[in-house]
Amino acid sequence: MDAQATILMGKAIGAGLAMIGAAGGGIGIGLAVGGAVMAMGRNPDHTATIQTNMILGVAFAEAVAIYALVVSLIILFVLS
């Protein structure tokens, strides 16, 4: 196996490992929305407050997934 193929293989493995963070973001969003829906069902008077906090939490969880995507793309296309 030549050096170029080894580098390409390492980049592909590294990018795949970097995208594991996207799975964590999906799990976090699912847990946040599920908990918020249960809380809204139990206490409908505070729906606006719960929904605002849920959206903020979803944004933070999604940011982690976007960071993982950016790192993966950097590994694939920028690093030589």
Does 18 have pLDDT greater than 80? yes
Nearest to 27 by CA among 72, 52, 67, 58: 58
Instruction: Give how many domains the chain has, as a whole number.
Output: 1
How does pLDDT run across 32-48, given as a tens digit for each residue? Answer: 999 999 999 999 999 99
Taking residues 4-17, report their average pLDDT.
Answer: 92
Residue 68 lies in a domain: yes
What is the CATH classification number for the domain harbouring 42? 1.20.20.10
Q: Give the structural domain span for 42.
A: 22-77
pLDDT over 80 at 50, yes or no? yes
Domain annotation covers residue 46: yes
Q: Give a yes or no: residue 12 inside a domain.
A: no
* Residue 40 included in any domain: yes
DSSP 44-58: GGGHHHHHHHHHHHH
